[in-house]
Structure 1
Amino acid sequence: MSYYAGIRKIRDASMRSRTIDGLQRLRYGLSSQIPARTATNTLLLATWNIRNFDDGKYGYRSDECYYYIAEILNYFDLIAIQEVRGSLYPLQNLRRILGSWWDFLVTDVTLGVAGNAERMAYLYDKRKVNFAGLAAELTLPRKKNTTSEPMQMVRSPYIAGFRAGWAYLTLVTVHIYYGKNMAVEPRRLNEITELTKTLAKNASKLSCSPQYQIGRKPEPDNLIILGDFNIFNRADSTMAAITKSGFLVPDELQNIPGSNVEKNKHYDQIAYYKKLVRLKSTGNAGVFDFYEYVYRHEDKTQYDQERKIKSGKSFNEWRTYRMSDHLPMWIEFNVDGADDYLDLLKSSVNI
């Protein structure tokens, strides 16, 4: 449960009242669409590109925005976040609202114009998820039989290892180059292709169960890529670049709306390499459209003065700098491997 006491300190009475109303609507929507979190049995994994979080473009986010964002994040156990900008304040403020049992891992700032001065982060509830020790930014290797410098991605993917229940997960979160507004942008396709090929080739080095037997080759264990791939639709070559390398998108994620506000682009993806180990999908997955509950079209007049002073943008555009132009994508996994382990013991041990 989020820490709501700070709402009392919001000086603007209308904002304070609006925030409370918005949180009540948001809580209703979240609880009706997303399964309840459990103490041990399941893992709710999410990815969310939070637009320009929080560089102050068109005004820094208000307390109202932070309470809404924290409320959404609080319905998941482990979230990959893209587009965190220079300061660590946004993540620190989220942790203050969510509670001290939450923690985050974060990259340094991506340099260069194309990198947009972004960080990538993982936010997780320590009561449910343990950091397993691995945290690194990935650079692509030089190809064999060539002296040319390897292509590097505009934003280095962020790899981190976690444990939840019986399962170990190695997550790789990305924010792939967007470039030109076209379905198949050459550099975008190249980044996805080279990344997934590199991960597939090195899967056993990046991800292996601590329970493998000494003297045997390690087996990859739950290597998952997730984040903003800027994929326009599931039928084009940018999507095929993921699956050709052996990554699989769970069926339930292939049948959901797009993750942009209009729900017609499939920018965000979650995919695993070849198979899952002690990690089973429950069949629950989706994207959550927070604009059905906060910053709604019917709320426009309440924000008009602030919007006109700080941006001059249309309401639809401006509100994406309050919340985001991406919707969070999520999937629920079962992480209780007790039954499978007992079945294995029963078949291998003469009781």
Structure 2
Amino acid sequence: MRRQLHTDVGRHRSESSLLLATWNIRDFDANKFGHGRRLPESLHYIAEIISAFDLVAIQEVNRDLRGLHKVMGLLGGAWDYIVTDTTEGRSGNEERMAFVYDRRKVLFRNLAGEIVLPRPHKIVVPRGGTVAETDEDELQFARTPFVVAFQAGWFKFNLCTVHIYYGADYGDRLQRRISEIGKLAQFFDRRQRKEKEDYVLLGDFNIVSPAHATMQSLEAEGFVIPEHLKREKTNLKGDKHYDQIALKVREKRLEVGASGVLQFEKSVFRNNDFTAYFDQMPADKRDHHYRGSKQGQPRTEREQREYYRDEWRTWQLSDHLPMWVELKVDFTNDYLKSLMPGRTPLAD
């Protein structure tokens, strides 16, 4: 794992850059679906992955914060976190969102909040739609977006993490997903026009594909996704574009460097590690089908291996892969040039 982290991410680390990541850590850390709590080994892997970056947005943090606290203990005293309260309601799924950051590289600017849409800009669903109980067919976000002000190097920015409503791939539920993304992008577009701040949106947008309306809703308001990231598939199965990092910045000196998706399954919980974890899996789910037409029937060895690959290990690490980007945040040369006669200093 450490070798892969150095090769894929660590070689881009420097004092002049910020390594920013987003990771949906599946149901972190609960056992509501009965696949077993995360092993101590898994929590160490999660901490190791987070430590490769400077600032990580995490989605699906559970009401029970013991797992997060254990990971913070493994990261050490230089690391800190900010976490939301849980989002209530069926769609909220009792989830929290969090930012975990290295205080040696990142400064919390003492501003944090959850996004609530004003009445004229609420999410609209078709009248009589079946997606939820609504207030005159108008909704807030299923899981409230969380925005925090940070500074890294010279770059001051507002970072908003999201876990957009999924619903379904058709009908009212898909329209709600598209609307959530669009309303969020519009909110920050209006905010930027007033306050001239820089914004980064990141998290699980449940994007269908780069050409789909879910992506178009995000980009329509001027948010820019690094082209390489836009093409990356971010789930463990390698067939979805759910997670994204989108920038809407006025700071012209900011440069985007390397970026990517960390495929941790190349190093840990690999496909061929089934035998090593056989006894760690819950026997009832490992040995018998627990849903569908085969419910209660014994699994074949092939089906046991499928359970390990497609289900159990996703509750040990995640069914999402961490997505990351390098932002070059050292504007010292530009500042020194601005001190020359006849120029306006960039800062006092």
* TM-score of the aligned structures, taking structure 2 as reference length: 0.84
Q: CA deviation at 1:186?
A: 1.1
Three-state SS of the structure 2 residue aligned to 1:304 is: helix
Amino acid at match of 1:197: Q
Structure-2 residue corresponding to 1:73: 50
Amino acid at match of 2:211: A
CA deviation profile, 1:161-182 (whole Å, cap 9, x unmatched): 1011101110010000011145
C-alpha separation in 1, matches of 2:325 and 2:233: 14
Residue 30 of structure 1 pairs with residue 30 of structure 2: no
**Contact persistence 1:142–1:149 (CA under 8 A):** no
Q: CA deviation at 1:202?
A: 1.3
Structure-1 residue corresponding to 2:186: 197
Structure-2 residue corresponding to 1:253: 229
Residue 43 of structure 1 pairs with residue 18 of structure 2: yes
Structure-2 residue corresponding to 1:318: 312
CA deviation profile, 1:36-88 (whole Å, cap 9, x unmatched): 46463110000000000011241111110000010000000000000000112
C-alpha separation in 1, matches of 2:170 and 2:68: 32
Structure-2 residue corresponding to 1:87: 64
User: Which residue, 88, 109, 129 being the options, matches 1:111?
Assistant: 88
CA deviation profile, 1:312-338 (whole Å, cap 9, x unmatched): 370121100000000000000111100
C-alpha separation in 2, matches of 1:289 and 1:276: 31
C-alpha separation in 1, matches of 2:137 and 2:118: 9
User: Which residue, 269, 275, 279 being the options, matches 1:305?
Assistant: 279
Structure-2 residue corresponding to 1:11: none
Residue 129 of structure 1 pairs with residue 129 of structure 2: no
Structure-2 residue corresponding to 1:288: 262
C-alpha separation in 2, matches of 1:310 and 1:36: 43
Three-state SS of the structure 2 residue aligned to 1:248 is: coil
Q: Closer, same or farther in 2 for the Cα pair 1:149/1:185, shift >3 Å?
A: closer
**Contact persistence 2:62–2:96 (CA under 8 A):** yes
Structure-2 residue corresponding to 1:96: 73
Percent of aligned pairs with the same amino acid: 41
Q: CA deviation at 1:263?
A: 2.1
C-alpha separation in 2, matches of 1:229 and 1:40: 30
The 5 A counterparts of 1:224-235 are 224-235=200-211
Residue 188 of structure 1 pairs with residue 156 of structure 2: no
Q: Closer, same or farther in 2 for the Cα pair 1:37/1:129, shift >3 Å?
A: farther
Three-state SS of the structure 2 residue aligned to 1:29 is: helix
Amino acid at match of 1:86: R
Q: CA deviation at 1:345?
A: 2.4
**Contact persistence 1:91–1:104 (CA under 8 A):** no
Q: CA RMSD in A?
A: 2.3
Structure-1 residue corresponding to 2:289: none
Structure-2 residue corresponding to 1:55: 30
Three-state SS of the structure 1 residue aligned to 2:119 is: coil
C-alpha separation in 1, matches of 2:158 and 2:339: 27
CA deviation profile, 1:166-209 (whole Å, cap 9, x unmatched): 0111001000001114598111011111111111111255xxxx
Amino acid at match of 2:174: E
Unaligned runs of 5+ in 1: 1-25, 206-217
User: Which residue, 206, 215, 219 being the options, matches 1:239?
Assistant: 215
**Contact persistence 1:247–1:271 (CA under 8 A):** yes
Q: CA deviation at 1:98?
A: 0.5
Three-state SS of the structure 1 residue aligned to 2:281 is: helix
Three-state SS of the structure 2 residue aligned to 1:169 is: strand
Amino acid at match of 1:159: V
Structure-2 residue corresponding to 1:13: none
Amino acid at match of 2:176: R
Amino acid at match of 2:84: T
User: Which residue, 148, 157, 167 being the options, matches 2:145?
Assistant: 157
Amino acid at match of 2:9: I
**Contact persistence 2:23–2:320 (CA under 8 A):** yes
**Contact persistence 1:167–1:278 (CA under 8 A):** no
Three-state SS of the structure 1 residue aligned to 2:283 is: helix
C-alpha separation in 1, matches of 2:333 and 2:229: 26
C-alpha separation in 1, matches of 2:342 and 2:30: 57
Q: Closer, same or farther in 2 for the Cα pair 1:34/1:182, shift >3 Å?
A: farther
* TM-score of the aligned structures, taking structure 1 as reference length: 0.83
